[in-house]
Chains A and B, each alone.
Chain A
Amino acid sequence: MSDLALKTKAVHDTTAEKIEVLTFEIGGETFALEAAIVREILDLMPEAIVPGSRPFVNAVINFRGKVIPLADIRVAMGMPMTATTIDSRIVVVELDLDGTPSLVGLRADRVNEVTSLSKAGGEPPPRVGLKWPPQFIECLIHREGTFVIFPDLEAIFASKGHTRQQA
């Protein structure tokens, strides 16, 4: 899916264009991902914990006969953990990990909608005063009196520097 990655980049360059995004909630904040990378939205399902893994990707699930990792953006963002609810979903996205197209499940407290957004109105994350690590945020977009956060998945998944859980 390296061409997907290329396509995604191309969209970033032309920020004036509207893009299809999926918005979802984590810890009361609204996040958005480009719909092009979303493969499926799943209801919660049994997961297998991977002992010794980083808390950021601490489990795997059976997705159509494939074993795929389950990642939690809230860990990368340093947000507190919350219990799952009836609205909790798993958003399966396709990412380029070290040149290999890979499916990854992302935990979400709820999914909101698929909509088009223009990144033209987006602003780069402020360097100070933000409660989340700015390197993990591509941009913020003002929408209906609130912020929609575009996480930089590439940066999040590339960073292995997270505190590793000691066995």
Chain B
Amino acid sequence: MTASILTVDDSVSVRMTTRIALTGAGYKVTEAVDGLDGLNKARATRFDLVVTDLNMPNMDGLRMIEELRRLPNQIGVPILFLTTESDATLKGRAKAAGATGWLVKPFEPDQLIREHRLDDRALVDAVFRALHTLKGSGAMFGFDRLAAFTHHCETAFDRVRKGLAEATPGLVSAVLEARDHMRALVEDPSGDHAAEERYLLERLEAAVSGAAATSVASISETPIKAAASTMPTTWRIKFSLPENSFVNGTNPLSFLDELRAMGECRVLLDKSALPPLEKLEPTALYFHWEVTLTTDRGRADIEDVFLFVMDDMTLEIAALSSDTPSVEVVPSVTENADMPTPVVTVAPLPEPSAPEAATRPVTDAADPKLRRKAESVRVPAERLDELMDRVGELVIVQSRLQQIAANSADIGLRTVSEEMERLCSELRVTMMVLRMVPVATLFDRYRRLVHDLQRDTGKKIELSTDGESTEMDKTVIERLADPLVHLVRNAADHGLEDGDARRASGKPEAGSIRLSARQTGGEVIISVTDDGRGIDRARVRAKAEAAGLIQPGATIADQDLLQLIFQPGFSTASSVTNLSGRGVGMDVVKKAIESLHGSIDLTSRPGEGSTVSLRIPLTLAIIDGLLVRVGEGHYVIPLPAVEECIEISQEEDLRSRGRAFLSLRDTLVPFIRLRELFATGTKPDLYQKMVVVSTGEERVGLIVDQIIGHHQTVIKSMSKLHDDVTTFSGATILGDGSVALILDVGNLVSLGQEQEAQLRAIA
């Protein structure tokens, strides 16, 4: 039976968007253009959900909700309203009128679906990815048994992912149990788990082949959310909802589902308030609940579940495992000499189960084994990320303030704005420093991997590293970990020859893999070099032709041929091994690097070996820029590249017509009139400005109409559709919500050089 939904809004854009999202999710949608229309449609048909705007002609949303609640055929229908305001009085009034909940505009249509639908593909994909990473990390650190077990789980999940089996609740609970088992394996890798493993795998098998299909799908969120690394607290939550809850469309089950999604949860229904049958009012709610929840979320998150009904209900929340410290001290397992890095990388593992958490001391500082590094406060990485997001938002707001202040005569406002700008800039620098981590933390992880690879491949491998003190943003380092695993494996698996072949070609028996890092300008270059056989072009070509990536016999430049390795669907591994894994090839490496705004260079000499170089920007999030105007468009020039700004007088401007150089303190600097390059079709400003930018050795002048000022920029990447436009490296959103493009200085400089060369050739 398809659920049918009434959407009431006077904006055709909102109506159609809602309609498309909901019909796409399999719902039947009826549209109404205002309150009166909505009410008439509700008189005629019973709906399962009503979504309505508040401000509408003819009859507004509040009136409509009131009227709708009186319709006998709509008893208990949930009514959500869309609002642009977070205005509490409005919410209060809508609630009084009988609304069930609200969505803040502009809302994500997905949100609506998420709240009314349990089956979720993305969730399945996320679980699969988590399993895959866990497997890699497991093998990496010698938890062979864990790797093997995870491999089996993954096989099961792979079928779900490919749509061969359904993500039934039965499967989800089997995975949850498997997850607990994996944790046991990490804690006690040497113990005997064979019997339990067999049982769990059987359960998984059964679940995948679609045997069981009951209980709740929404608990499937747990394995992902559980990746959070804070200490869980156990809460007792008692709640009772008003008797008219059903009539107002509140569904207590959805609250329970939300609580379940937050962690380990035991839901106890209290039916003691149920009246005798003859006194029972069938549409009233009598049940109460007591929930025991172990979660890493705070009290506020739990309260949020009940946000909309909070005023009318009774809610008691008590912490059972007490004294959560205000600054949580997470055990620094990383720096514990007995257990190097592993446990941290195995982060997708869940929090401890409820009984254990309840008895376990919340601060591990009490544990002498973990005490050593207690001087520094450790903050969970995700909080650092949250802070970074906030700083990013602050930077945007600050630039808005700066714009307002610049157009204002209010000296006080301007002073505050300048002060704010300084603080923001300092905060950003502090934030960056906080997040910088030496690359050594990354490289160290691969010693064990190489050790195991020697055993698995039977090849002798020497790992050397240099540039470990190079620092990079923590998030960037984390996101490099998996791609580098692939690259190192690939070098060992396919790059290096075996001992005999090496001796035959006069090489030392042990193959060499070198990891190096160095910083140049705003980039860090990380390379993986092997001294193996080099890439076999003929084989690459044959594979690419077989996979349909290139036409048979097509002429293709060497570099382009090598880059084919990174195409999806190209995998040089002819068999699926524990090393290369299933369906995760070099294309994944490429995607990961591109998502970091980085690029991959590949060089390879037959018989001598290969080098894969990853060029990664130092930081992801924010750059300092100079905001300029050219014609009617705004552009950002990355500040580290800017040498100076010069005003060009009209005479100079005229004199420079038809030439490509300006003389700047006895040297000639090539310049580009951006107005011409961008074909703005506007008249030049009276006083043109030249911004001199450089990439180390080469300089070029960029002529702009106006220099607006210093601007801290949150970088957004450009779409693939603009791959052919090399002038810009990204985009950013300005304080007023408009978009400015970020100039790619490297490309503009080479453009300037070309232009110079052409003019020289003519002369």
Contacts and interface: CB of A to CB of B under 8 A. Distances in A.
Are chains A and B touching directly in their complex (CB below 8 angstroms)? yes
Interface of A: 3, 20, 22, 35-36, 38-43, 46-54, 57, 60-62, 64-69, 71, 89, 97-100, 102, 104, 111, 114, 157, 160, 164-165, 167
Interface string B660-681: 0000000000000000011110
Given A46-B737, A61-B739, A62-B737, A38 B721 contact: no
Contact of A65 (B16, B727, B733): B733
Interface in B6-43: 11-13, 16-17, 19-21, 23-24, 29
Contact of B722 (A38, A53, A114): A53
25 contacts: A22-B16, A35-B19, A35-B24, A36-B24, A40-B109, A41-B13, A41-B16, A46-B738, A46-B739, A47-B739, A48-B731, A51-B677, A53-B722, A57-B719, A60-B722, A62-B738, A64-B108, A67-B716, A67-B731, A99-B587, A100-B720, A104-B719, A111-B12, A111-B16, A167-B678
A89 B121 contact: no
A52 B725 contact: yes
A2 B70 CA distance: 46
A160 B724 contact: yes
B728 interface: yes
Contact of A167 (B587, B677, B737): B677
B568 interface: yes
Contacts of A43: 11, 13
Given A35-B24, A48-B740, A111-B13, 15 more contacts: A3-B121, A39-B109, A48-B633, A48-B731, A51-B633, A51-B727, A52-B727, A53-B724, A53-B725, A54-B724, A57-B722, A64-B108, A104-B721, A114-B23, A114-B29
Nearest to B739: A48
Interface residues of B, number: 44
B718 interface: yes
A91 B12 CA distance: 12
Nearest to B677: A167
B93 to A, nearest CB: 27
Interface string B701-740: 0000000000000001111111011011001110001111
B628 interface: no
Contacts of B678: 51-52, 167
Contact of B13 (A42, A57, A60): A42
B720 A102 contact: yes
Contacts of B680: 51
B726 to A, nearest CB: 8
A114 B20 contact: yes
B282 interface: no
B163 interface: yes
Instruction: Point out which of A40, A97, A111 has the most chain B C-beta atoms below 10 A from its C-beta.
Output: A40
Nearest to A59: B739
Contacts of B728: 50
Contacts of A67: 716-719, 731-733, 739
B368 interface: no
A60 B722 CA distance: 10
A100 B721 CA distance: 11
Given A36-B24, A50-B728, A64 B720 contact: no
Contacts of B121: 3
A82 B20 CA distance: 27
A39 B108 CA distance: 9
A50 B733 contact: no
Contacts of A98: 720
Centre residue among B12, B108, B680, B739 by max chain A CB count within 10 A: B739
Given A60-B719, A69-B719, A100-B720, A35 B727 contact: no
Contacts of B720: 97-98, 100, 102
Nearest to B569: A99
Nearest to B728: A50
Nearest to B727: A52
A67 B677 CA distance: 22
Contacts of A60: 718-719, 722, 731, 739, 741
B502 to A, nearest CB: 37
The residue among A3, A62, A165 with the most chain B CB atoms within 10 A of its own CB is A62
Contacts of B19: 35, 114
B506 interface: no
Contacts of A64: 106, 108
B23 A20 contact: yes
